[in-house]
């Protein structure tokens, strides 16, 4: 009985299980059927629309349009850095490989000539990427080189717009400008600090399928980078660089720098730093060091040389300023009424600051004897300076050092600015050594900014080198105006210092800076460098003009050159002989020596170089032609400016037929017949018949229009 009951239960359980399976299966069949019905209805009602959307997504392509990097120009809108149109050559390897053999061969041969590679190299490049629809063959090909290739309309070859960064003036203010590196970023200087303005905004290309089979392209144009307008003046910078390179070649310093500045506004007119580099070839110093020297250096040595060349000495190297700091100490002491203009000082050649400690010597070992305050500065007397600062509390001295801006960056703009090293407390020894510009460090930009405050009425101005940022719509995005940070000393004290420092040039250590016809003030500096026993020095000169209303100040510095050369002051003089007339700073008749004859610069604008040369010769003035052509469009200095005889006038010219330009050969030393054979029909020298040529106008090397005249002067 029990067996029969068990069988009956088993049968019933099995039937219930089958029933459940049936209902579950039926449920799933119904679900699948419902989903199938929904898919069929979607396809029937909206299938065409969805198909277009899918195809549209498959065909849509988004590409980037690179913006053109903004330019960097000087205060007169002359180009220092710019970007010119270029192209990346892009290949479609998959598409090219599907072409007939003869078409592929034509593509390889044509491209090989353009990219300076063999046809076989181009072929291997394509075959190595058989599935690629986008491969960059070469980047940044100049637009002029790509025009012919565009006309050939090669299948599987197209071009993406890019740009090449150009620095047409080479090493011109290179550390201040910086460079554009291989990664597409600005590095060092203005290129780095203002990169966010220069880069612009990326554009986009959208390709879409519309109206079933029509592919349309929508373009969102790129926004090109903004233009950075500097306070730098190309003409002043050229004067500075020419002079500095002359002295660098003569004395071979380790480093050298120069800053020319407006002391009343803080505008930087010129900034030079040595060693330098060419931003167009920023990672190679072959031109600066020589190809053999550069190639013989190890990689680590090259890296050290490059880092040194990229650094801006004016901002990124701090040094002991030496005696150029002394006027600031005198100004502080006068302003605090610690000393007076009537005080006298006696120098015996050394001063004991602390009993039992070695005395601190004056540079003049036998001493200067009794001196006035003005003479202490003119003679750069160490003992006199230590006597002055001995009367000043350390806290007061440190307060002025802080107010002058030492120990803090000037925030000029370019990255990496140093702030120098100071003591937080001054004992008697530190106070004495500070008074003569030793045992603390500052940067050249800190020093010239502080010095400007004692000659401009007492105001510490914010130095700046960028005046405006202007976008491609000519809208001003950023503007810097002269900014007064604080008043450091009184106007009365400033007037005293301005006149005292004239004595330094007229009858003191800065006599080399004296310029006939101008009133110059300044201060020399000889700062010790490193260990005192090494006897290494940094020589410098801080000068300004004119005395009655200082309009320009300059700091010239040479690192490790012989003492006693007067090189910094002499370099300052050579620069200012050109810069002062260019800035239209008038001569002071009372300061003009009879021994040096002066000439007035004639009005040469809109004349030609032939007429100009005659007029300048009549005034005993030389000339330098800048540009290409015969017509003079501007001149420096301006007409009416008084210059010492034999000075050089710069003539800026342009050509009326720029496509027909040839270079003038050197005819000096040739007979007239030899010269005529040399120039052929390119130039006219028919005014001379015989003799040896001893002079020519224009000078050799200048470029003028073909068939122009060369005026020659012969020995007969």
Say how far apart CA 216 and CA 225 lie, in whole Å: 28
Tens-place pLDDT, residues 400-430? 999 999 999 999 989 999 999 998 889 999 9
Please give the pLDDT value at position 48.
Answer: 60
Please give the pLDDT value at position 469.
Answer: 96
pLDDT band at 156 (very low <50, low <70, confident <90, very high): confident
Average pLDDT of 100-128?
A: 84
Say how far apart CA 149 and CA 139 lie, in whole Å: 15
Say how far apart CA 69 and CA 190 lie, in whole Å: 13
Say how far apart CA 681 and CA 120 lie, in whole Å: 46
Q: CATH number of the domain at 64-172+198-230, please?
A: 3.90.1310.10
User: Residue 340 above 60 pLDDT?
Assistant: yes
| Number of neighbours of residue 217 by Cβ within 10 angstroms | 10
Cis peptide before 200 (omega within 30 of 0): no
**360 within 8 A of 428, measured Cβ to Cβ:** no
**53 within 8 A of 209, measured Cβ to Cβ:** no
Mean pLDDT of the chain: 86
Buried b (16+ CB within 10 A) or exposed e, 182-214: eeeebbbbbbbbbbebbbbeebeeeeebeeeee
DSSP code string of 239-252 = HHHHHHHHHHHHH-
pLDDT band at 58 (very low <50, low <70, confident <90, very high): very low
Tokens of 205: 């290309």
Tens-place pLDDT, residues 452-487? 999 999 999 999 999 999 998 899 999 999 999 999
Q: Is 337 left (phi over 0), alpha (psi -120 to 50) or beta?
A: left
Please give the pLDDT value at position 60.
Answer: 46
Say how far apart CA 437 and CA 401 lie, in whole Å: 11
Buried b (16+ CB within 10 A) or exposed e, 45-68: eeeeeeeeeeeeeeeeeeeebbbb
Q: Which of 79-88, 209-218, 259-268, 286-295 has the lowest mean pLDDT?
A: 209-218
pLDDT band at 33 (very low <50, low <70, confident <90, very high): confident
Task: Using a pLDDT cut of 70, give the percent of the chain over it.
Answer: 88
Please give the pLDDT value at position 99.
Answer: 87
Task: Pick the more confident residue, 139 or 259.
Answer: 259
Say how far apart CA 443 and CA 556 lie, in whole Å: 13
Please give the pLDDT value at position 59.
Answer: 45
Tens-place pLDDT, residues 573-628? 999 998 998 888 887 756 655 545 678 889 998 888 888 888 888 888 888 887 77
pTM: 0.76
* CATH number of this structure's domain 600-714, picked from the four choices 1.20.140.10, 1.10.10.10, 3.30.10.20, 3.40.50.9100: 3.30.10.20
Give the count of alpha carbons within 13 A of 80, CB side only: 30
Say how far apart CA 49 and CA 43 lie, in whole Å: 9
DSSP state of 130: T
Give the count of alpha carbons within 13 A of 74, CB side only: 20
Which of 132-141, 549-558, 559-568 holds the top average pLDDT?
Answer: 549-558
Topology at the third CATH level for domain 322-585: Beta-lactamase (3.40.710)
Say how far apart CA 138 and CA 158 lie, in whole Å: 12
Say how far apart CA 650 and CA 622 lie, in whole Å: 9
């Amino acid at each position: 009985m029990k067996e029969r009951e068990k069988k009956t239960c088993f049968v019933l359980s099995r039937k219930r299980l089958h029933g459940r399976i049936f209902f579950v299966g039926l449920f799933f069949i119904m679900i699948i059927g419902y989903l199938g019905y929904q898919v069929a209805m979607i396809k029937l009602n909206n299938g065409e629309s969805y198909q277009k959307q899918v195809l549209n997504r498959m065909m849509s392509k988004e590409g980037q349009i690179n913006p053109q990097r903004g330019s960097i120009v000087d205060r007169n809108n002359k180009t220092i850095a710019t970007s010119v149109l270029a192209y990346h050559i892009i290949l479609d390897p998959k598409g090219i490989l599907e072409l007939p053999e003869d078409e592929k061969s034509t593509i390889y041969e044509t491209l090989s000539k353009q990219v300076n590679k063999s046809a076989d190299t181009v072929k291997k490049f394509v075959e190595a990427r058989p599935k690629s629809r986008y491969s960059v063959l070469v980047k940044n090909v100049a637009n002029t080189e790509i025009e012919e290739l565009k006309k050939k309309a090669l299948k599987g070859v197209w071009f993406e717009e890019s740009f090449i960064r150009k620095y047409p003036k080479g090493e011109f203010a290179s550390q201040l400008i910086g460079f554009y590196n291989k990664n597409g970023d600005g590095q060092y200087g203005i290129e780095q600090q203002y990169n966010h303005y220069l880069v612009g905004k990326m554009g986009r290309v959208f390709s879409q399928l519309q109206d079933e089979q029509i592919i349309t392209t929508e373009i969102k144009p790129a926004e090109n980078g903004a233009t950075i307008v500097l306070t730098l003046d190309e003409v002043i910078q050229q004067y500075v660089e020419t002079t500095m390179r002359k002295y660098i070649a003569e004395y071979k310093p380790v480093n050298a720098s120069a800053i020319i500045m407006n002391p009343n506004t803080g505008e930087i007119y010129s900034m030079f730093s040595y060693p330098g580099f060419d931003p167009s070839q920023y990672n190679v110093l072959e031109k600066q060091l020589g190809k053999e020297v550069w190639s013989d250096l190890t990689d680590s040595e090259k890296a050290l040389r490059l880092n040194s060349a990229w650094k801006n000495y004016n901002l990124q190297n701090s040094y002991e300023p030496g005696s150029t700091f002394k006027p600031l100490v005198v100004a502080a002491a006068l302003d605090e009424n610690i000393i007076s203009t009537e005080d006298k000082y006696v120098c015996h050649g050394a001063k004991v600051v602390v009993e039992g400690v070695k005395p601190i010597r004056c540079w003049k070992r036998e001493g200067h004897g009794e001196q006035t305050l003005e003479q202490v500065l003119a003679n750069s007397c160490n003992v006199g300076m230590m006597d002055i600062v001995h009367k000043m509390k350390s806290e007061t001295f440190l307060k002025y050092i802080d107010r002058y801006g030492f120990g803090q960056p000037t925030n000029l703009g370019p990255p990496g600015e140093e702030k120098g090293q100071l003591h937080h407390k001054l004992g008697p020894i530190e106070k004495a050594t500070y008074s003569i510009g030793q045992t603390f460090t500052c940067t050249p930009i800190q020093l010239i900014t502080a010095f400007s405050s004692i000659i401009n009425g007492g105001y510490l101005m914010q130095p700046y080198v960028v005046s405006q940022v202007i976008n491609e719509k000519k809208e001003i995005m950023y503007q810097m105006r002269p900014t007064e940070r604080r008043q450091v000393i009184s106007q009365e004290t400033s007037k005293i210092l301005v006149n005292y420092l004239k004595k330094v040039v007229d009858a003191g250590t800065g006599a080399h800076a004296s310029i006939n016809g101008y009133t110059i003030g300044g201060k020399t500096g000889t700062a010790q460098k490193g260990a005192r026993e090494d006897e290494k020095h940094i020589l410098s000169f801080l000068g300004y003009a004119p005395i009655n209303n200082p309009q320009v100040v300059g700091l010239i510095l040479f690192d490790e050159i012989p003492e006693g050369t007067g090189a910094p002051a002499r370099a300052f003089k050579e620069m200012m002989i050109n810069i002062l007339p260019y800035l239209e700073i008038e001569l002071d008749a009372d300061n003009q020596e009879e021994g040096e004859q002066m000439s007035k610069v004639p009005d040469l604008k809109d004349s030609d170089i032939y007429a100009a040369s005659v007029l300048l010769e009549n005034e005993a003035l030389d000339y330098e032609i800048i540009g290409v052509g015969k017509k003079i469009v501007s001149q420096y200095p301006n007409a009416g400016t008084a210059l010492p005889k034999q000075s050089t006038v710069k003539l800026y010219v342009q050509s009326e037929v720029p496509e027909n330009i040839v270079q003038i050969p050197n005819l000096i030393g040739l007979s007239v017949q030899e010269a005529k054979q040399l120039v052929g029909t390119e130039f006219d020298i028919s005014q001379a018949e015989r003799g040896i040529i001893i002079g020519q106008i224009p000078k050799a090397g200048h470029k003028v229009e073909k068939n122009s005249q060369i005026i020659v002067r012969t020995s007969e």
